[in-house]
Chains A and B, each alone.
Chain A
Amino acid sequence: MNNIIVYCETNGNSVAEVSLELLTKARSLAGQLKVDVEGVLIGSNLKDLEKPLFAHGANVVHKVEDARLEFYQTLPHASIICEIFAKEKPQIGLFGATTVGRDLAPRVASALKSGLTADCTSLEIGDHYEKKSDTTYKDLLYQIRPAFGGNIVATIINPDTRPQLATVREGVMKREELATPVKGKVKTWNVADLVKDTDFAIEIIERHVEEKKVNIKGSHIIVAGGYGIGSRENFDILYELADVLGGEVGGTRAAVDAGYIDHDRQIGQTGVTVRPKLYIACGISGQIQHRAGMMESSMIISINTDPNAPINNIADYVIIGDFAEVVPKMIRYYKKNSK
């Protein structure tokens, strides 16, 4: 009762990174609220996948196993989560903002008539005073997210409905394993009590899980371009710099929308979040949606003709100039000076 429940995604033999990040965050929120963290695992062969959950702070792991649950499907997962939430009455429910979490959480929120905030970049605990009713709400979940094209940051609360639901993007929260795993409990649920046959109305015919070819998340050096790069061809020089430095190329949503770069390289609120050692931003103005995905980079270099580009305020080095002139020089002087 009153705990924090994290819906944990599995991909075959492991628990998704975003779920472990959420457990880490849930642990600190639960510390403030003085409650426990619980995880839910759903699948066909979950083996001992509760272990990483305990290692990241879950006190209880709910396991739901059935041959029909090999792959994620909306309706059975929604039924299971609604039922578990109804029985366990968590005060907070967290999901990854993945194609799974963003498919599942709204369906759950609608069924429970609970408030849900999508794509949070930060979660905090705080109070709220409602003037109209002269009521103070203690210990609410502040769900913080950029909104309205990234021009504002909104703090959303659900004063009256429980659980308070949120999805959080992968890579936004830090994952930290406990030195000693929690000696938690496993609670096994009977699938027949949770799902109906009609929940399997949609049939999965085929899946190709394409491992992402591009791994910008794992790259220590990222050269990123914005709309200011101007064309797909103009990105070539960025690939060349990334190549000599041993990094990857990323882009802003505007660059992706314009077709200059592929979607799997998009960095920002609606792309991936990265924390490289070095981030070189070329022709990027620095809308908050983009910055949300890169501002924790250890070092940021901005190359921009506009000295007032917002990204310059978070950059360690600002090179005022045209990327088409500056980037080739960086390549040249790197080749000259590296051993």
Chain B
Amino acid sequence: MKPLKIIVLAKQVPDTRNVGKDAMKADGTVNRAALEAIFNPEDLNALEQALRIKDMMPGSEVSILTMGPGRAAEIIREGLYRGTDGGVLLTDRKFAGSDTLATSYAISTAIRNFEYDLIIAGRQAIDGDTAQVGPQVAEKLGIPQVTYVEEVEKIDASGMVIRRRLDNGVEHVKAPFPVLLTVHSSAPDCRPRIARNVMKYKHARTLTELQDATEDYTRMFNDRPYLKIREMGVDDIGADVEALGLSGSPTKVKTIENVVFKAKESKAIDSSDSEIEKLIVELIENHTIG
């Protein structure tokens, strides 16, 4: 069978495990600039599945499509370091404020500009945990979806056999091409960077990133076309501005509350033997335990 064209959807996310006070803007949207940006963990599981398929079917092409601010070009570079063939950064101020529906509209509109047999995304991103963009992209492209994927087990011309991890079990399905998969965190971890790829691609840049470069750098860049990371905006993908950003987003954030803990009368005790024995006896007497 012929090699496959695979698009991996990946997102640069704020590392929500380390959130400071300035993480939210006044309008309730996330101030991404204030947080360390990382490759969304489950998107790395997705990338690994794509690279495994490429290993199985030499000649297949894997490219990453990411949407975000200029610095999300890092996601494309990270992919190149690990073995992808290229990538596209979808970036435009007009995308800002998009909810999952507007985001999936933008991504699906971009994808229509490319040939693909297979789209693979992480199940969900850690900044929102919604798991909505994958299925919504599939719906907009009119292709089937397989979510909670743990492994692509077999591929032939008629399609793929895929193992899914469900709430209480496992399901094996056969899916035709084209199809969109979302990969679960129980799937194999992503392979590490390949040293020679890091050497080759560490200077890969978008044209925006290149603006501040020196002349020498620009010359080197022009001699090596593989260093160019493609950027696309609203006009390049042919999207309707009204369907993007806040105007294209049916969900609105009404209020944001920083988490305030409701204090409750709690009784502090120390870890001495007598205190703990007293507590245990009390719990036994009031039938909480025993």
Interface residues of chain A, those whose CB is within 8 Å of chain B, are 74-75, 78, 98-100, 102-103, 105-107, 109-111, 113-119, 128, 142, 146-161, 201-212, 221, 245, 263, 269-270, 277-278, 286, 288, 298-299, 301-302, 307, 310, 312-322, 325-326, 329-330, 333-334, 336-339
Contact = CB atoms under 8 A, between A and B. Distances in A.
A70 B148 CA distance: 20
8 contacts: A128-B254, A155-B255, A301-B279, A318-B268, A318-B269, A320-B270, A326-B276, A339-B290
B167 A99 contact: yes
Given A204-B171, A270-B129, A157 B268 contact: no
Which 3 pairs from chain A and chain B are nearest by CB?
Answer: A149-B16, A321-B271, A115-B250
B250 A160 contact: yes
Given A277-B288, A337-B284, A338-B290, A118 B129 contact: yes
B168 A210 contact: yes
A158 to B, nearest CB: 5
Contacts of A157: 251-252, 254
B259 A119 contact: no
A337 B168 contact: no
Given A160-B250, A208-B170, A278-B289, A152 B100 contact: no
Q: Name which of A109, A314, A325 has the most chain B CB atoms within 10 A of its CB.
A: A109
Contacts of A269: 129
A313 B126 contact: no
Interface of B: 14, 16-17, 19, 23-24, 28, 30, 99-101, 104, 126-136, 138-140, 144-148, 161, 164-176, 179, 186, 249-259, 261-271, 273, 275-277, 279-281, 283-284, 288-290
B16 A159 contact: no
A201 B255 CA distance: 41
B121 to A, nearest CB: 12
A154 B169 contact: no
Given A155-B254, A317-B268, 5 more contacts: A154-B28, A319-B271, A321-B270, A333-B280, A338-B284
B250 A106 contact: no
B99 to A, nearest CB: 7
Contacts of B276: 319, 326, 329-330, 333
Contacts of B284: 334, 337-338
Nearest to B270: A320
Contact of B273 (A161, A314, A329): A329
A148 B19 contact: yes
Nearest to B265: A316
A131 B29 CA distance: 18
B131 A209 contact: no
Contacts of B132: 105-106, 109, 116, 118
Contacts of A302: 266
A150 B177 CA distance: 37
A107 B138 CA distance: 8
B126 A149 contact: yes
B146 to A, nearest CB: 7
A307 B268 CA distance: 9
B267 A316 contact: yes
A212 B269 CA distance: 36
Contact of A316 (B166, B264, B290): B264
Contact of B144 (A147, A158, A202): A202
B62 to A, nearest CB: 23
Nearest to A199: B144
A206 B99 contact: no
A117 B250 CA distance: 10
B131 A106 contact: yes
Given A148-B16, A203-B174, A102 B264 contact: no
A1 B175 CA distance: 37
A151 B269 contact: no
Contacts of A307: 268
A204 to B, nearest CB: 5
Contacts of A161: 250
A106 B254 contact: no
A329 B280 CA distance: 10
Contacts of A106: 100, 130-136, 139
B289 A221 contact: yes
Given A109-B101, A315-B266, A152 B256 contact: yes
Contacts of B171: 204, 206-207
A207 B169 contact: yes
B144 A75 contact: yes
A236 to B, nearest CB: 19
B169 A210 contact: yes
A25 B127 CA distance: 27
A302 B16 CA distance: 24
Nearest to A209: B169
A74 B283 contact: no
A159 B253 CA distance: 10
Contacts of A205: 161, 172-174
A263 B148 CA distance: 14
B263 A313 contact: yes
B6 to A, nearest CB: 18
Given A208-B170, A314-B264, A117 B251 contact: yes
Contact of A152 (B24, B173, B277): B24
